[in-house]
Structure 1
Amino acid sequence: MDVLALQVHKSLSRHLASRVLAPRLPGVVSGGLAPLRLVSTGAPRVAADGWGRVRPRLSGICGSDLSMLSGGTSPYFSALVTFPITPGHELVGDLLDDVEDLPRGTRVVIDPVLSCAPRGLAPCEACTAGHTGRCTHVTVGHLAPGLQTGYCADVGGGWSQQLVAHRSQLYPVPDTLDDARAVLVEPLACAIHAALRAEVRSDEQVLVAGSGTVGLLTILALRALTDAGRIVATAKHPRQQALARAMGASSVTPVGQATGAVRRDTRALRLRPDLGADFLLGGVDVALDCAGSRSSLDLALRATRAGGRVVLTGMPPQGVDLSPAWFRELSVLGAYATGREPTHGGRSSFELALELAATAPLDELALATYPLQHWRQAVDHAMDAGRLGTAKVAFDLTAARN
C-alpha cells in the first residue's frame, strides 16, 4: 500500500544552500531549494513483535524540524539518522492494529525515542533506569540508526498518512482529550522533563529564555510541577508575551531588556565588557534556554548567579561563549526528550503530560492546521509563527485521506 509522505532525502548541496540562505531568506526553506518533497511511497513496516501501524490525525511542526530544513542542525546528528527521513514526532493518531494490550482503533500519542525496547534489545543501563532519552543503542538492533521517530527511515514519521510504532512508545489518549490538546502532549512531556531536570527548589527565581511553544509549555510545567518562585520569561512578540503570562510567568520582558529585568528582580550587579553582551554578578537561580539560539543561551549563561543551573531545553546553537559557565561555576544540563521522573515517583513524563493536558489552559495556544499538500504554506507559517501569534502549526492528516 502506498501512502503520501513528506520526505527529506540526503543532499549536501541543498543542506549547505539552506544553511547559508535561510537566515536572510526564510522562504528558501519551503521554496525550490527545500530538501522536502511530497511523495507517494510504500508504507513502513517492521517485521517484529510488538509493532503496529498508526494513522496520524494531527502532526506538529517542531523547531527541530525547522532547524533541519533550514540547515541549522549540527553535523553531530548526522550519525544518528537514516534517510529518507519522514519528519514528524509530535502526533496524535489511530492505531490500525492490535498491539499487545492496545486494540485496533485506540487513539494514541507517541513517545518518539527509539530506545532499546523498539530495537528488540535488552535494556541498556540508561533504559533500565527509565532514562530512555539517554539510550546507548539508538544506532543498532533491528532498526536502522535513528534517535527518534521522524529521523529513522524504517519507521516513518508523522508527516505522512501512516507510520509504525512499538508498544513501548504508545500512550492511549483519554476520550476527554481532544486532538488539538493531544498533539501538544509530546512537546509538553519534553517541557515537563526539562522543568524537572532543573531541580527548582522552593521559591527559587527562574528565567525562561524564549516563549515559543517549548518556552510556554516549560513555564506551564514549572508552575504546575515545581515550587518555583518568580518566573521571568522573555518574549519577542505581543501575543507570546500574553501567552507567557497565561501559562504562569510572573513577568515577561522583551529579549533586549531581559538582563535589566533580571538585575532589578534579583538586585544583581550589572557589568559591561568591552565587547559582547552585559552580564550579571548575581542573577536567577535557574535559567532554561527554550529557544535554542545563540542569543537565548548567551542570556541564560550571563543572567544566572554563581553556582546556579542552566538547562538546555532547545537544541543548542554553535559558537556560544562559555566563559560565564567556567567563571561562575554554573551547572549546564541538557534536557533531551523525556523519561521517568524520580521527583514524581518514577512516573513517565508522558503520563504527567497527559494528566496536565486535561486541565491546563492549552486552548490559549492557537493551533493552525494544513493538509500535507499545502506543506509549503505550513512551513512558511511555522517559520513565522511567533510574529503571527500561532503557538503550533500542524499537518491535518485527516484532510489528506480525502
Structure 2
Amino acid sequence: MNLNLEYHRSPIRYITSRTATGTIATGRAAGWWAANMSPVRLVNRPDPRLPGPGWTRVKPLLSGICGSDLGLLTGRNSPYLSALISLPFTPGHEVVGETLDALPDLPKGSRVVLDPVLGCVPRAVKLCPACEADQHSRCDHITSGMVSAALQTGFCADTGGGWSRMFVAHGSQLHKVPDEIDDERAVLVEPLACAIHSVRRIPIPDGASVLVVGAGTVGLFTTLALREYTKAGPIYVIARYGHQRERAREMGATEVLSSDRAARALRRATGGFLARPEQGAEFLLGGTDIAFDCTSGSGLDTALRVVRAGGTVLLSGMPNASVDLTPAWFRELNLVGAYASGGGDFPDAMALAKSAPLTGYVDATYPLSRWRDAIGHASSSGRLGSIKVAFDPTKDQ
C-alpha cells in the first residue's frame, strides 16, 4: 500500500480557509489554519499503476513544499486552475526520487529529479505547437491524453505526487542526478529551473536595473539566475526577514531593501519622483527598468509602482491577491508571465545546483505522518528563519 497525502475538494473548508487566511495572512495563526483546515488527509492507497510504456514508478526521497502548494491548502489559489486538475490528487512537484522500473535510458534505481509538467509527450498525444518548440509549460493538451487532466504532476489523480511513498512519472519528465549532488540540493533543481526560465522570458539589457520583490525560494533563485545568466546591472531585492537578506546578498543582490521603505530607497538609487496618492501605497515616476514579482501576495502591486514608464514587470510567483492595474495602463508597462520551465532550463539548473551556495536551504524535513507540523512550518517559514521545508517520505516518524 502507498501512504500519501490526498487533496479532496471541500467547498466549506475552501471558503473557511480562504476567509481565515485572508484575515491572518502571516504568523502562527496562518500556519495553524493551513495545517488543520486544509482539505488534505493522510491515506493508504494501492500502489499507482503505470499508465503505459515509457513510465516508471518513483520512490520520493525528498519532496518540497512550494508556495503554490500552500496557496492551494489555504484556499488562496485562483479558481481558474480548478479546470486544470483532477481529484483526488496527491500534491508534491518538487521531487528528488529513485526509479523503481527500468526505462531505455534510465536504469532501475536511478536517482532523478522531476520536471512536473504533463505535456504532450507523457500524455501520448500529437505535439501541440508549444511542445514542438520545446516549451511544454505552454502545452495546450494538459486536459487530454492517457492521464487525467492536470497542469502538473502533483495535481493529477492518475500520477500521484511527491507527498507520498510512490508516484508514477514518464521518462521524459525525469532528469538523472549526478552523484556529486546530494538530495538536499537535488530537491531544489525544479525551483531553480523555474527561476532560470523566468529570467529568460524577457530581454534584460546589459546594465539594466532590476528589482526582485520577495526573498523566499523563488526570489532568491531568481536573483541567482539574474547574476548567472544575464548582464544585469544593479539588482535590488525586497526581503522581509534577516536570514532572507543574508541569502539575497549571497545570491548577488546589489542592495537589499525592506518592504516598507522600498519606494523611497529606489528613488534614491534610480532617481525619479515619489508620488503619494490619497489612498494606497506611494509610487515612483521613474524607478527600475525591470521588476520580478516573486511573491504570492502583494508583490505585484509593489512591482507595478516602482518600475519606470515603459518598463517590464514579470510575474514569477503565483498571483493570488487583487491588484490595482492602473500603473500598467498609465505607465505603459509590459506585464509578462513565467510558468514552470522549458527548453534547456533543467540541465542548466542541475549544473547550477552543483556550485551555487545552497547549503542549508533545506533546513527542515518531516515524515508524512507529521504533515500538519510540516505545513505549519512551511506556512511560517519566513518568521521561523527557514527557506525550504520538505517531506522525507522514507521516514516513519
- TM > 0.5: yes
Q: Quickly name the TM-score band, shorter chain normalised.
A: over 0.9
Aligned to 2:283: 279
Of residues 368, 383, 395, the one that matches 1:387 is 383
Aligned to 2:5: 6
Written as runs of structure 1 = structure 2, the 5 A alignment for 1:3-402 is 3-23=2-22, 24=24, 25-26=29-30, 27-31=32-36, 33-294=37-298, 296-340=299-343, 348-400=344-396
- Whole-angstrom distance in 1 between the partners of 2:167 and 2:64: 15
- The size of the alignment, in residue pairs, is 391
SS at match of 1:117: helix
Deviates more, 1:37-46 or 1:283-292: 37-46
Q: TM-score, normalising length from structure 1?
A: 0.96
Q: Which runs of 5+ in 2 are unaligned?
A: none
Residue type of the alignment partner of 2:308: R
Residues 195 and 225 in structure 2, CA contact (< 8 A), matched pair in contact too: yes
Deviation (angstroms), 1:199: 2.1
Residues 267 and 287 in structure 2, CA contact (< 8 A), matched pair in contact too: yes
Deviation (angstroms), 1:273: 1.1
- Whole-angstrom distance in 2 between the partners of 1:43 and 1:325: 49
- Whole-angstrom distance in 1 between the partners of 2:265 and 2:49: 53
- Whole-angstrom distance in 1 between the partners of 2:321 and 2:383: 25
CA deviations on 1:313-335 (whole Å, 9 max, x unpaired) are: 00012421111111111110000
Residues 292 and 312 in structure 1, CA contact (< 8 A), matched pair in contact too: no
Q: Percent identity?
A: 52
Q: Which runs of 5+ in 1 are unaligned?
A: 341-347
Residues 362 and 390 in structure 2, CA contact (< 8 A), matched pair in contact too: no
Residues 189 and 353 in structure 2, CA contact (< 8 A), matched pair in contact too: yes
Residues 50 and 57 in structure 2, CA contact (< 8 A), matched pair in contact too: no
Deviation (angstroms), 1:269: 1.2
Residue type of the alignment partner of 1:10: R
Deviation (angstroms), 1:22: 2.3
Residues 206 and 285 in structure 1, CA contact (< 8 A), matched pair in contact too: yes
CA deviations on 1:165-188 (whole Å, 9 max, x unpaired) are: 001101000001000000000000
SS at match of 2:160: coil
- Whole-angstrom distance in 2 between the partners of 1:367 and 1:188: 17
CA deviations on 1:64-93 (whole Å, 9 max, x unpaired) are: 000000000100000000111100000100
SS at match of 2:336: strand
Q: TM-score, normalising length from structure 2?
A: 0.97
Residue type of the alignment partner of 2:18: R
- Whole-angstrom distance in 2 between the partners of 1:274 and 1:126: 45
CA deviations on 1:264-303 (whole Å, 9 max, x unpaired) are: 1111111111111111111101100001212x11110010
